[in-house]
Structure 1
Amino acid sequence: MGTSFISLTDLKRNFAEVKAGMRPKEAMEESNRCLFCYDAPCTRACPTGINIPSFIKKIASGNLKGSARTIMEANPVGASCSRVCPTEELCEGACVLHQSSKPILIGQLQRYATDWAMENEQQLFKAGAGNGKSVAVIGSGPAGLSAARELARLGFQVTVYEAKSEAGGLDTYGIVSFRLPQEVSLWEVEQVRGLGVIFRMNTRVGVDVTADELLQNYDAVVLAAGMSKVPMLGIEGETLAGVYDAIDFVESTKTGLDPHLIGKRVAVIGAGNTAIDAATCSVRLGAEHVQIVYRRTREEMTAYDFEFEFAKGDGVAFQWLTAPQRILGDEAGRVVAIECLRMELIDGDAGRKKPVPIAGSEFLIYVDAVIKAIGQTKHTALIDQFKLDHRRGTVTVDPQTGQTSNPKVYAAGDIIFGEGQGEAMVVSAAQQGKLAAHAINRNLMNNQEESA
């Protein structure tokens, strides 16, 4: 991707969705390869339990609305997941055709059906008959959206509180456009809004409305606020101009494209999926050279394999066993270099290798921008306002129901990820939101029946 004379039109083209959807003939041929297994291993491998043989059979028979309903019934963010799920590790990884040929392209077929529903403006579900109960959902990402959708279908009056101006959370703001266009996530939001769910946008729980107010005004609360900003590196120079938070950086590309990185050298600190997103965004913004700096090795990086291969295909370089020691700036306070140390791995706790610096191994990486992607901080202040048990910001829940230490509050998504609990996947967050919704329904409606 060239860096000279890049126009705004070029930048927009760079952020267009990379992978084209299936054409009807391709989808028909692929769906007809499916064996439609009984007790299908692909369905068992899907965290939301999508009946995969059923939705594929509906594609084969030309029933695309039925196919999309089957997908979205199980996974309220099934259109987004068709693009961002690690299908090679989940459903496709479990396909029985692995033994003889190649697995069914389940993710692409899922996209084909949900794309049809989007393009044809289908409202796939209806709200349930009102049951007189109300629930507040905090956060409109995959977990919050899934909880809201299920609760509305069960007859609850649902109000979603969202700090940003658009709903969808991570899917709307945090996943790069060339992998997940914003309109896909916003269509899923409209599917939920169409059930009568109220969205209170630009509303920060804990600031604009208190936890006590929600606990008093609703029969239950779902806490699905995700995670917060990237933490500080704790090194000299990270307040210089040209040092960015990866979450903010990726989000900025979803709302507008700034040409300031054209021809620049960029270093991304970290090696998770967000680091990959930041690096590939930098390439598409016209950076001349982009590298990921990581204190461990390829084997320890947390990014999915397909993300790693994607970054390599974009020309991103990798500096393994390298840790930043300080960021250097010029007289104007702008980044010019990172001073790094070479690392080596030694045996650590819980079987994970521990990186330690090699004495005297300092060297410089000359850069114009540094993007921090070393994880995210927790919403501890919000959690404390609800007086919930947590472990260093990870809310403690019953894994089957999402119920917290306050029986009126349930939690799902990234806010329960960490400390050996939960999974950091969009599809897992969707399932947790569903589980919380059905647990609320059981608890509130059973109690109502018992008191009648």
Structure 2
Amino acid sequence: MTSDVFEPGIQSGRLSPAEYQAQFSDLHPPLDAHEALVAADRCYFCHDAPCITACPTDIDIPLFIRQIATGTPDAAAKTILSQNIMGGMCARVCPTETLCEQACVREKAEGKPVLIGQLQRYATDHLQAQGVHPFVRAAPTGKTVAVVGAGPAGLSCAHRLAMLGHDVVIHDARPKPGGLNEYGIAAYKTPGGFAQAEVDWLMQIGGITFKHDSALGRDLNLEKLKAEYDAVFLGVGLGGVNALGAEGEDKQGVSDAVDFIAELRQAGDLAALPIGRDVVVIGGGMTAVDAAVQAKLLGALNVTLVYRRGRDRMNASVFEQDLAASKGVRIVTHAVPLAVHGNGTVREIEFEYVDDAMKGTGQTLKLPADQVFKAIGQTLEGEGMPDLEGRKIKVDGSGRTSVAGIWAGGDCASGGDDLTVTAVAEGRDAAMDIHMALTK
């Protein structure tokens, strides 16, 4: 173990190489062929299946499970991918326990749903392992579309447009495509470079060009994009992070959870990542849980997740909350940050307990901290955007914005629930509407 000290209490190499490998191994080991057949056999193949309704991408779940049961997993994969081209990633990160599996008839009757997510992973992995792309590009239409943002919404939109014969240029501020799939999801959910492997596989459709280090507002503007392309899709996500609103939050050691996760995802050596002894994560969503769990897996002694409301109001699912607790993360609810204490560097963070109406009770809690991660929501960045609804781009049901020729989807657009699977659906649906607009 190394002992390079970055700040008092913050150091790298807290664990042995074997411990890092074990800590960041696959959260859900994949099903083998026999396990997949057994799991598929539990499906009732409902005619009016509630699991389909619960899936944001409307995958025909009974059909793909039947195809697995009959020994044709590649056909099952095509059923999945025709609706959700990022079905492999969604099988790993979707909160299936609150979507399709919660709606499963087996769940309602027995409290044990069909393993829909794991079966989806089995099928899509089986096909992608062969390096075969199941879709064929249509004849070129002569139209070119700009997609800004290479996250789930942008990639889904680009693939569908390319499949329909349009040329697509994806612009992204980062050096790699993938968006949150590459930079913002816990490493133990997608080990082995899966995010990039899925993007490489998706790009096999052809007709898609990726331009990295190309950021809206810095290198691009909407007027120029509109002039150069036949249509524009915005899938820029949310780049800004909300402020804590607490005194002293600018102290060293206080940083954004999304940056911490991105650094971890891109690290070549986990042992080189510095982590504190006492880590506090503020927030109640998936990013907060991912940051808290990974801090613990990196070797932090004490990790506390603090949320301003009750557990029932957390955006992170009960499964994610239980996962955090199982890894040793302490969860404190009904508390808001008041002040960050320390002489230039965080040493302690003070909270006030609040009631359900968010009114302060006067009771406070002080937690020792040498590292604080903010996961309290993100904001839209960029000037000259189409009309907003709240803090997101206003769109209709097809993804059309207030500006003719510009569509939007994913986390940057109104109406979604900030899930990978929803972003994929919105990108796909916007692509279909763009196609109709360009070919009418």
- Same fold per superposition (TM over 0.5): yes
1:81 counterpart residue number: 90
Q: Does 1:412 align with 2:409?
A: yes
Give 1:12 shift: 4.0
Distance 1:4 1:247, change over 3 A: closer
Matched, 1:389 2:387: yes
What SS class does the counterpart of residue 247 from structure 2 fall into?
A: coil
Counterpart of 2:131 (choices 115, 121, 132) is 121
The reply to whether residue 184 of structure 1 matches residue 187 of structure 2 is: no
Equivalent-residue separation in structure 2 for 1:320 and 1:97 (angstroms): 33
Cα distance in 1 for residues equivalent to 2:156 and 2:404: 20
Whole-Å separation in 2 of the counterparts to 1:167 and 1:233 = 30
Tell me the residue number matched to 1:357: 360
Aligned to 2:15: 6
- Kept in 1, the 8 Å contact 2:24–2:188? The answer is yes
Amino acid at match of 2:235: A
- Which digits, 9 at most, give the CA deviation of each residue in 1:377-397, with x for residues without a partner? 11242xx2x4x1113431111
Q: 1:6 touches 1:262 (CA, 8 Å); kept in 2?
A: no
**Structure 1 residue 235 displacement after superposition:** 2.1
Q: Distance in 1 between matches of 2:408 and 2:394?
A: 9
Match of 1:339? 350
Q: Does 1:252 align with 2:246?
A: no
Displacement after TM superposition at 1:110 (Å): 0.3
Q: Which runs of 5+ in 1 are unaligned?
A: 346-353, 447-452
**What is the distance in 2 between the residues matched to 1:5 and 1:192?**
38
Give the counterpart letter for 1:36 in structure 2. F
Cα deviation, residue 62, structure 1: 1.8
Contact 1:11 1:285 in 2 (8 A): yes
* 2:167 equivalent in structure 1: 157
Taking the TM superposition and a 5 Å limit, the aligned residue runs for 1:30-429 are 30-101=39-110, 102-181=112-191, 183-196=193-206, 197-256=208-267, 257=270, 259=272, 261=274, 264-330=277-343, 333-345=344-356, 354-359=357-362, 361-381=363-383, 384=384, 386=385, 388-399=386-397, 401-417=398-414, 421-429=415-423
RMSD: 1.8
Identity of aligned residues (%): 40
Q: Specify the SS of the correspondent of 2:288.
A: helix
Q: Secondary structure at the match of 1:355?
A: coil
Contact 2:276-2:370 at 8 Å conserved across structures:
no
Q: Deviations over 1:238-266 (max 9, x none)?
A: 22221110110111110113556556010
Paired AA for residue 368 in structure 1: D
Q: Does 1:440 align with 2:434?
A: yes
Secondary structure in structure 2 of the residue aligned to 1:324: strand
Runs of 4 or more, structure 1, over 6 Å off, are none
- Residue identity opposite 1:149 in structure 2: H
Preserved contact between residue 379 and residue 393 of structure 1 (Cα < 8 Å): no
SS of match in other structure, 1:323? strand
Change (3 A) 1:263 1:125: same
C-alpha displacement at 1:223, in angstroms?
0.4
* Higher mean displacement: 152-161 or 388-397: 388-397
Give distance in 2, aligned partners of 1:158 and 1:4.
Answer: 43
Secondary structure of the 1:16 match is coil
Q: Structure 2: how far apart are the matches of 1:9 and 1:322?
A: 37
Structure 2 gap ranges (5+) = 1-11
Q: Alpha-carbon deviation of 1:182?
A: 6.2
The answer to whether residue 22 in structure 2 is matched with residue 22 in structure 1 is: no
What code does the residue aligned with 1:167 have?
Answer: P
Contact preservation (8 Å) 1:173, 1:250? yes
